[in-house]
């Protein structure tokens, strides 16, 4: 019984962190002039290639830095990383801070061709 409860809690936690990317919502949000595209990958990953217009804030730094970049909690924030896991964690952190329009756009490699095709 205890094992079932522990496994249930673990699956809930993993589900929150492994949220599906929402490419359609990300593309729609990026059409808005007030949206902000945030790369939550490492500095090394960002320097190797980033989406046009993206700013970098590491997923582990986003809670401490977001207020100086996006004080308006209704501003659309579109997050991405290498696989979608870190952007999911960052989304969760931002929502806990009260940000209301946060989208996990998922993986850089998946999002890049969609943005290029959208132009």
**Residues catalogued as catalytic:** 81
Tokens of 4: 């079932």
Rg (CA), the chain: 15
Q: 79: helix, coil or strand?
A: strand
Measure CA 119 to chain center: 22
Pairing of strands 36-39, 77-81: parallel
């Amino acid at each position: 019984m205890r094992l079932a409860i522990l496994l249930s809690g673990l699956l809930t936690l993993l589900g929150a962190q492994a949220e599906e990317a929402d490419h359609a919502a990300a593309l729609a949000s990026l059409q808005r002039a007030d949206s902000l595209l945030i790369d939550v990958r490492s500095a090394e990953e960002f320097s190797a290639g980033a989406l046009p217009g993206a700013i970098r804030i590491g997923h582990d730094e986003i809670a401490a830095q977001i207020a100086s970049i996006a004080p308006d909690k209704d501003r659309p924030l579109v997050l991405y990383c290498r696989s979608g896991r870190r952007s999911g964690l960052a989304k969760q952190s931002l929502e806990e801070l009260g940000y209301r329009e946060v989208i996990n756009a998922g993986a850089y490699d998946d999002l890049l061709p969609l943005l290029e095709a959208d132009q």
